[in-house]
Amino acid sequence: MVDALIEAAGLTKKFGSFGALNGLDLRVMPGEIYGLLGPNGAGKTTTLKITAGLIEPTTGSVVVSGFDVTRDPIHAKSQIGYVAETPILYESLTPRELLEFEASVRGLAKDSMNRRARQLAEAFEVVSIFDLPIATLSMGTKQKVAIIAALLHQPPILLLDEPLNSLDARSNRILKELISLHVQRGGAVLFSTHIMEIAQRLCSRIGIIFGGKIVAEGDLDQLRARAGEKDATLEEVFMKLTNEASEVENIVRTLRESFFDDEGR
């Protein structure tokens, strides 16, 4: 039996009296793009940050490539490439300096690091800014640098929190291709997004997170069966499984009546 590359069990996370996660379980297998789909505040980013070892769970555990993230953080983090929703970068450095720092921390050979960094920089068209301070770069360019840093050490696990935000169409397509190549090599991707079309096209399996826990999981057909909606889009399935469909319909009905009333006055 193949072991999961990511296994979260009973995760809870409290910020004061607020429960961001409430007993979340998930497993991501080698060769899988697992989409974490949920409304704002559902716990997607918290799940990714705990898996990346950036914050500790209140209770529960996450194991990546056999390493417990809390008990063995150094080995666990060596297995992960993480792209945050908002790029986390040392803005006083240049991209070149940042990648050299990443390489030294991860013990990468300089020649292989330079080759890999150059290939990725050319792919994302950021060679011309490699010696400019990161603080001077646009949000989209910072996102590209963060992606290159996450891919530099060729980790088995990618944690991607809304990674397509701010990217131009060309870079968007390149990142999708890199994600596909990553899983073809046996890697795993935990991918957070709120854009249904991206999740439907890109992810091999989807977990719908709502109220800090996974409320449904599977491929699109399995989720359709769970929702009792045979030919529904992922958006329609999502709204049904999170019990938001009727609420949204009521809101839209009220707004429609209000707009029509305004036009009649």
Q: Computed from CA positions of residues 109, 113, 116, 118, in that sequence, does the dihedral angle turn out positive or negative?
A: negative
Q: C-alpha distances in angstroms, 187 versus 90, 149, 151, 157, 244?
A: 27, 17, 12, 6, 34
Distance CA 126, CA 142 (A): 10
pLDDT at 259 exceeding the cut of 90? no
- Strand order of the β-sheet with 33-37 is 80-83, 157-161, 188-193, 33-37, 205-210, 213-218
The secondary structure of the chain in percent helix, strand, coil, rounded to multiples of 5, reads 45, 25, 30
Q: What is the pLDDT of residue 250?
A: 79
81 and 157 Cβ atoms separated by less than 8 Å = yes
Instruction: Dump pLDDT digits (tens) for 13-39.
Output: 999 999 999 999 999 999 999 999 988
234 and 205 Cβ atoms separated by less than 8 Å = no
Mean pLDDT, to the nearest integer, of 231-251?
A: 82
Q: What is the pLDDT of residue 169?
A: 93
Query: In terms of Cα–Cα distance, which of 157, 118, 125, 121 is closest to 30?
Result: 157
Residue in the block written with tokens 């809390």: 70
The DSSP call for residue 139 is: H
Instruction: Dump pLDDT digits (tens) for 154-169.
Output: 999 999 999 988 899 9
Would you give the distance in Å from CA 140 to the centre of its chain?
Answer: 16
